[in-house]
Each structure stands twice: as structure tokens, then as C-alpha cells.
Amino acid sequence: MRTYSPSAKDITRDWYVIDADGQTLGRLATRVATVLRGKHKPTFTPHMDMGDHVVVINADKIVVTGGKAEQKNYYSHSGFPGGIRSVPFAAMLTKQPVKIVENAIKGMLPKTKLGNSMGTKLKVYPGADHPHAAQQPKPFPDHV
């Protein structure tokens, strides 16, 4: 018996939409990263981009547990001495809620060219509206 290995023509990509309203950031990120990577499919192959497209709406209504809302910070560094900047979670949630969700999800993808191509299939929007109605996105699967 030969081992099945999918080719590029065997890949079918679906579109899913998930509502982040009231969902925990980390739990949402793991479920979305699994679908972007394609691990929910029986034909998953680690060296190929088998994943589906995911649209996340209501990113501004994401929640975190415990004291993370007050204690969590997002850091960036300019590369110069003393160039570190820190933005608290609460401020980031009001200014750039999309960036919070994108960072959490993309941090769970591989740090390679393959992971970068998986990350391009993620679309995050702060409100309930998104411009991907033409792709007819399905509700996010519960089994993931």
C-alpha cells in the first residue's frame, strides 16, 4: 500500500467566518490557527499549505481572563538604545483591536515562508461587517 500525498490540485479552500464577541483570546486563536494550517482536514500535510480562509469579526469584543486586561503589555523596539515601547492591553483594545487578534493567531503559526502564506488567509475586522460576502463564508466548525 502506498502512502497518500496530496498535490496542489487536490487542495480545496473553504471560507469560514467566526464571531469573536465574548470569546477568550487564546482559545479563539488556537482554533483559528488550526484551520489556517489545515490540521482539521484528514489530508493534512505538514509541508504544504492545506488551510482554509478565516474571517474574524467583532475583534473589538474579545475578552481575556484573569488580570491580563490590566497586566498584559505589547512591546515593540525601534532597534536603537532605549527604543522600547510598551502599550497596555486596554489601550491596544481601544486603538487597534485587529492587531491583538492577528498577533495571537499568527504567533501560533510556523515562523517560515509557509507560515507567512498561511497568515495571509486570515482576515480580521473590528466590527460585524466584512467585505467577503461574495465568497459565501460558512459558520466556523465546532469540532475544531
pLDDT at 40: 94
Q: Is residue 1 part of a domain?
A: no
Q: What is the DSSP string of 62-75?
A: -B--TTHHHH-EEE
Q: What is the pTM of this model?
A: 0.92
Residue 8 falls inside a structural domain = no
* Nearest to 56, CA basis, from 86, 85, 93, 15: 15
Q: Walk along the chain (144 residues) and give the pLDDT tens digit of each residue.
A: 898 889 989 999 999 999 999 999 999 999 999 999 999 999 999 999 999 999 999 999 999 999 999 999 999 999 999 999 999 999 999 999 999 999 999 999 999 999 999 999 999 999 999 999 999 999 998 877
* Domain housing 116: 14-139
Give the SS3 label for residue 137: coil
Strand partners, 57: 19
Those residues with Cβ within 8 angstroms of residue 136's Cβ, 6 or more apart along the chain or in another chain:
15
73 inside domain: yes
User: Is 144 part of a structural domain of the chain?
Assistant: no
pLDDT of residue 39: 95
**What is the CB neighbour count within 10 angstroms for residue 52?**
21
Task: Assess contact for 54 and 140: CB atoms under 8 A.
Answer: yes
Write the CATH number for 60. Answer: 3.90.1180.10
C-alpha cell at 111: 515562523
Split into its structural domains, the chain has a count of: 1
Place of cell 509557509: 114
Amino acid at position 32, single letter: V
Assess if residue 5 is contained within a domain: no
Identify the pLDDT of residue 141. Answer: 82
